[in-house]
Structures are given as structure tokens and as C-alpha cells.
A and B are shown apart, each in its own frame.
Chain A
């Protein structure tokens, strides 16, 4: 028997990173009796090592909690969401499965960029917002000030804002009561044809694809024949269950219930996130409103450091794609780097995570090219091309218009840092939109920036310029024409395609000079002189020379030295692992990444 929808509440917690989302989730589990005090530990919901290390929840998960209030048992479904800007998309699909959201704000840090972004997402999904201040037990907590900020930025009545400590549990019973009182119960039709929203999926070695669903209408039952409406494929439900927080199998999921479905799906690509599950026969006619496809905004080439690992890399990428449908890869051939893959990511953090996971789980040494964005190019012939690989950009003579993606970026930062960040944005061809004050000491600064100018290190720069207090969030707003050109790098007479970058023509000379100087520092000396040139088309705009290595020999090696000398040599060898042979020249991984580093030296 399915649970009476009247007593079900489906909600998420949205917060800026580190504001205590996972701790609050654990505290809710603890106070409802789902876990014991012993099991109450931080980040219970995060089960991937990498996430735990970084304190980020990447993959959404859902937990069903039974809670008794005034003698009535309620089923509360908490759907977890990722906190980082790169995973905006995953947040939105989790929110679509909820009626309410706890907006969690750190009482010591106040409103941050992702607080605002996530709150707007929740409001945009028509969710009831339950505002909660966390960490009120801390000495540095400033609850009254932060309530003001929340009112200023989000228009929320300070009287509605709850105050809790997720760590100690103080105030958490009020959170339960407010969710039950204010978040509406699910409103679906229990007797209508089945419609269930797929909001996530994961791959399990033993059970195949496990999809996470929220039932909107009707009921899901074990043994039932179901259809994926967009995919058009039919399956039989072999398993159903909920996470409490451990997997507990059940026979049926009714309206408003959230859980997992196992239905003989072999691979993740069989399931489209946002698809609707219905029943056969008697299928629903209209699917639920789906999600947007994830937008990949950052691209880079990944190449195995040694040629014979291409197949291993392909296998590793395929394996990773089983659990992360939001990154893409396709084979790429580089003159310089050989065979590899062009990969697309949701953002820089996503890229880093994928790369680390590849290396960690598959023991591959990778060479990564500098990340870049997708350009839109209108050719003289009138074609519009989308190019995410600088080497594929046509000759300047064939380009009618060169367009680049533009992002609207909101910075929330201490008011005394506005000047520094404005300078940073101006240097990166930003267009100032507005400044708003949250309080006399904090402001929101809005700029439109070329995406290419921000992907590499804007976040780090922001953090250092604001002593860690600044936060940012962005959304893509479209393409804009720019005076852009491709800057090529020629090493020892050979163009190294993987080092090409797109730059604004006005900055080309300066960037070219800086780049060859950087590369001079990154490329080891060889037996011969190595010339490094930067060129636009056939015009060389900068040149540096790396002098030849003249002497590199360990003078002494007797009985007592052998182990130590061998280890020194092994260390040198380790450093060469990530080198790529381009012509006669060995180029290190750092050199490939240095092309985007715009810092002054």
C-alpha cells in the first residue's frame, strides 16, 4: 500500500557550499530516528571519495524519512542537491521533483552567490521556500544581520527565518514542523495513469542502471510493465525501493513518493534524465515537463601520455560515462599529441573531477590541453559553425564573424573589494551591468564576461582579491561577436596544435609575448636550442629561445651511492611521464596548461 499523499512532503535543501547542507540532512535523519547517533557523521549522503575530500555533493540522492508530528506519521522525502555552480543543472532537476526547499544560510558567512542563484532556481520552480539560518551556535554568528541580508536580497520576511545548529540539533524540530505546515503535499492523481519523473540515475555493476524517480500520478509496482516516454522503450519493473538511508525494497511507490526503480536497463544512455515513466497498457498521453539537456561549457583535449594507452583511456572514459551522463567525449587527433579525446564538461570543477577520477580509477597518466569554450563562427560562405577545438578554427580570411559565448556573472563580495574585481573584469573584457548593496559592507556586482576569460582562473582570482569572502555565480546568456583570432605556437619550427588559443586581437601581442615567455620556463632544455614562437596566421609576433643543455651528468656513483642515485634518476623519470614528444622536443603537461595562465611574471 502506498502512503497517503496527504502526509507526504517532498523537499530539497539548497545552500552555498560549506553552509552545512549535509550536516543538516544528517541531523534530520538523526532526529527522525533513521540513523543512530553513532551513524550521525558528516556528509553521510556523499558516498564518493572525491566528493568527501572536496566537501561537495555531486550526484543527487534521495532519502525517505518517517517523522511523527502530533501523533501523525509523515513521510518526508529529502532530495539532495549539488552545491557548486558547475552543477546548476543537476540542482534544477532535483528541484523539479519537490514542492519545497530549505534555503540554508550560514549565520557567520551570510548570503553568498550560490545562495542567491539556488534561491532563484527554487522560486522559479514554484517551490515553497523554508529559510533557515545555520551555525547559530558559533561565536561568529550574526543572525540578525544575516536575516537583514536575506530580506534585502531575496525579499524574505525575517520573522519567517528559522535559526538552527545542524551540528548540535538545536532548532531542528522547528524545521520538521515548518516543512510539514508550509510545504504543500503532492497534488497528483493517485488513480490516474502512472507518471513518474526520472531525476537521476546511476550505474551499479550488479543491477545495471538504477533510476531515481518521483511518482507524480498513479503508482509504480513491482512486476509492472512500464514505458520510458521519450525513449519509447518498454521494460518490466524488477525492483523498487526507498533509501532510509539504506536501500529498503518495497512493492509499490505511490503519489509523491520518491525512490529507486530497477528495470533491466543495461546502460545509462538508455535512460534520459527528465524522462517520464508511464505504464503499459493505459499509458499517460502527456509526459511531465522534462529538463534541459546539460550544457557543456568547457572543453579540453585529454591524451594518454604514452601512445599505447589510447584504448585504456577510451575504456576509462566509457566507464566513467556510465555514472556521469553530463560529460561528453569524442575521438580527437592532434598532430602534436596523437590520438586522444575532446571532452566537454559542465565547468572547470567538473573537468578537474573527471580528470582526477580518470587518473585515480584507471591509473592513467594524462596530458590535458588548456580548457576552452565553444565558438560560433560565421564563414564567408554564410555557414555557422560551432567549434570547441581551436585547431579547427578556419583561416582568418574565411571568417565573416567570430563569436564567443558570454556569461552574466554575479559576484557577491565585501564592498571594499569592488574596485579590485571591477579591474579584474575590465582586464578580461567585461561589460559592467550593475552594483547593488546587500548591506553597507556587502554588494552584488554584475558583469557580462566572455566565458573564455573566466573559465581558467577567475574564481581563484576572486578568492584572492577578496581574501576568500567573494563568491560568484554565472549563467550563459548567448554569443556575441568579437575581434578574435587564433594564436598559434611554433616550437622548434613545428606548429603545436594543442597549444593554440583564441585571443582578442587587441591583446594578441601582449598575450603572445607572455605565452612564449611562460613556455620558455616550462619546456626543459634539450640537446639543441629550441625556438618558441607565437604567430597569428603566418605573422610571428613573439619569440624566445631555450638554450641547449650542455651538461647533465652525475659525477659519482660507487657502492654507497647506487640506491640514492637510482632514486634521483627515477624522480627525473617520473617528471618525464607526462611529457609529450612533439617533433624533437618534449613538452610537459604544465606547458600545455600554462597557455591560459594570464598572470604577470
Chain B
């Protein structure tokens, strides 16, 4: 399916961002609900060919972007030749503007000097490392198969080779205490990242962890402790100069993930690969999560898209508010909002927003609306009334 490049359109209609998905993993972690597969490495070459073909079918001609994000799965699970080939094809179809951001996700234990060098050569300038925890027992609870030391080794490989790198942490892992959380944050900070993503654990339906929870084999951390952990994360990171800029993201000023900010501005993006989502010209679509079906369809020259969705103007404006508020610093700028959605923020959502300001969950400086500190902990109470 060929689409005409519409670079004349604004960033919320025409993508300046591309997401590329690589589903291969050594094994499936207990909490993971991404489109990932273990034990299918023999399909990697076929998959890469399909990716190339999909990029060609979707774009017809290379599309210049400001940000690229290669996620998974575990992109660095590919062997060096495969990885090099993937990077070259991405660079061909999605030429990066000068100063653009190109992130690749990596799991500790899958990185080595050769892979790091070829990523650097390809133009990757940001790496996101999935640490999740530094406590062996907690990594076991998540069914992660790396050891804490491997994170440090990966960081040593990455540091100095990429201008920016990030760590992922998860708090609220079953069996963890506030002290565990503090220790994890300290261990992460000791490695000196300029960006951290810290997630409260989500029991996603269908995952192993969810099944264990349903069966009563796993007891979630109680809400009071989880809240204390979240507060600890926010405060400890702030003390170290990593300020919260989104519900689950923290960075030194200027080190925010530009690619992820695209999502929270409700801007458009391309998505290529298994289960990848794209948002182009107001239409959201998601590729199939079934690897065999993906390969079959792309190889037959058909798009691999599943359900698509086009929201009407008001629903899109509401969704934009819901996403923008996740940005804890930027929040919603009234002018920006009206420019992007065609709706006046106060005209569309005024009474609800005013109520949350009254309740102390939002702060309004006349220009921007943001979550208050308390509001960050109860964000869904607010967001559910905006959609």
C-alpha cells in the first residue's frame, strides 16, 4: 500500500517519528505483554526482509523523520550481521534529520562491543537499557533472566559511546519492600543515567504474572506501599537532578525522550513490524501480533494491519488532553492545544478541569494545566473524565 508523502501536513497529521519493532527475545518475561517471541530466532532473517518490504510498501519513498525508536522484544538479540542490515534499512527508509534522535532498546546481556560499535556507526545516538531491578529475587519474580551485574557491564559498554542512554526500572514487584525500591533507585543512580523510566508494575491481562496473581500465587504490593515507592522514586530522582517529566519518566533537562514525547503530544508516527502501531493522518492502526500471519501477509504483498480507528474531532481533542496531561511539566498549553485540536480547552473540558483544580489534583497557571503532586498519584481519576 503506497501512500503519498504529505510533509506539508502538521506534525499531528503527518509523522516525523518512526517506531520499528523487533520481537525476538531469549525468553518471555512474566510481566511482558509486548509482541515478543522466544525461540524463533531462526525466523529473524525472514523477519528483517519482511520489515524492509513493509517499509517499502508503506512509504514508497524514504520519509525524513526527527526521531526513530527501535523497540521490542529485544532488538539487540539479533546477531551483528542482522543488526547491521536492520540499521541500514532503517537509515534508508527513515533518514534522520540533523540533530534527530535514534533510540535502540537493549537488554543487558545481549550487548557486546561489536554490536555497540555497529549501532554507533549506523547513527544510533540513544540506548534504552532494561534494568528493571537490581535485586536478584525481584528479577526472578519478573522472570527476567539477566543478573544485576550484567546491567553494569552493559552500561560500561554504552557509556561514552552514545551521547544519551536510559535505564528502565520497575517498582511494586511482588515481594518487594520500600527498602528494595530505595536500593534499586540508588543502584540505578550510581550508574549515572541521564534518563530513567520507572514504572509501577502492571499486571497485564494474559501475562504469566497476571495468571499467577489470578491464581493467588502472587500477592501485589499493597497500595500504601506502592504509593510510598512512587513518592520515593520521584523525590530521590529529583534530588539527583532527574526530574519527572511524564507519569513514569525522568530526565536531566534536555535528555527527555523526544520520540516518546511525540506520543504524549498526540503527534503522528509511523509504526513498522510485528504488532506495531501507527498513527498517520488521523488514523490509528495496529499490525497483527501473530508472527506467522505477519510474515505471510507481508510476503504476499499485503499490509499486516489489523483494526484501524479514526476518531472524530472531539474524541481526538479529548484524547489529546488525556495524553498531554501525562506530561507532568509541559501539561496542556491552552494555545498549543487549540492550535492542534481546533477546540478551546476550556470550552471542551472547562468544568471538569476546574473541578479537579478545586480538588487539588490539577494546577492551572492561566496558561498551562498540569497535575499537582497529588494529582500524579491519582492521574486516572482525572484522565477518565477527559476522554
Contact = CB atoms under 8 A, between A and B. Distances in A.
B276 A560 contact: yes
A72 interface: no
Nearest to B222: A550
Nearest to A560: B277
A549 interface: yes
A554 interface: yes
Given A557-B247, A559-B263, A559-B279, A550 B223 contact: yes
A559 B19 contact: yes
A558 B202 contact: no
A562 B326 CA distance: 12
Interface stretch (A55-63, A146-154, A199-207, A563-571): A563-571
Interface string B308-340: 010000000001001100100000000000000
Contacts of A159: none
A566 B322 contact: yes
A555 B199 contact: yes
B326 A557 contact: yes
A554 B204 CA distance: 11
B263 A558 contact: yes
Contacts of B230: 551
A562 B323 contact: yes
B359 interface: yes
Given A559-B279, A560-B276, A553 B379 contact: yes
Given A527-B359, A527-B374, A552 B284 contact: no
B263 A569 contact: no
A566 B199 contact: no
A552 B275 contact: no
Q: Which of A549, A558, A572, A584 has the most CB of B within 10 A?
A: A558
A557 B378 contact: no
Nearest to A558: B263
A360 interface: no
A527 B379 CA distance: 11
Interface in B194-227: 199-202, 223-224, 226-227
B349 interface: no
Contact of A553 (B263, B380, B387): B380
B319 A562 contact: yes
Interface in A512-566: 527, 549-560, 562-563, 566
Contacts of A562: 263, 277, 279, 284, 319, 323
Contact of B361 (A527, A559, A563, A566): A527
Contact of A566 (B34, B200, B263, B319): B319
B240 interface: no
A182 interface: no
Contacts of A563: 277, 284, 286, 309
Interface in B20-59: 34
A246 interface: no
A587 to B, nearest CB: 16
Contact of B384 (A550, A556, A576, A584): A576
A559 B262 CA distance: 9
B314 to A, nearest CB: 13
B326 to A, nearest CB: 6
B376 interface: yes
Interface residues of A, number: 22
B271 interface: yes
Interface string A305-338: 0000000000000000000000000000000000
Contacts of B374: 527
Interface in B371-386: 374, 376-381, 383-386
B145 interface: no
Contacts of B247: 553-555, 557
Contacts of B278: 559
Nearest to B279: A559
Interface string B265-280: 0000101000111110
B380 A572 contact: yes
Contact of A556 (B202, B271, B376): B202
B378 A553 contact: yes
B97 interface: no
A573 B361 CA distance: 17
A282 B195 CA distance: 98
Nearest to A570: B387
Given A559-B19, A559-B277, A562-B263, A569 B380 contact: yes
Contacts of A560: 34, 271, 275-277, 286
Given A527-B359, A566-B319, A569-B322, A555 B248 contact: yes
Contact of B379 (A550, A552, A559, A573): A552
A141 B277 CA distance: 62
Interface of B: 19, 34, 199-202, 223-224, 226-227, 230, 247-248, 260, 262-264, 269, 271, 275-279, 284, 286, 309, 319, 322-323, 326, 359-361, 374, 376-381, 383-387
List of 4 A-B pairs having minimum Cβ-Cβ separation, nearest first: A572-B384, A560-B277, A553-B379, A550-B227
5 contacts: A527-B381, A551-B200, A553-B379, A554-B247, A570-B384
Given A527-B378, A557-B263, 6 more contacts: A550-B227, A556-B199, A559-B278, A563-B284, A569-B380, A569-B384
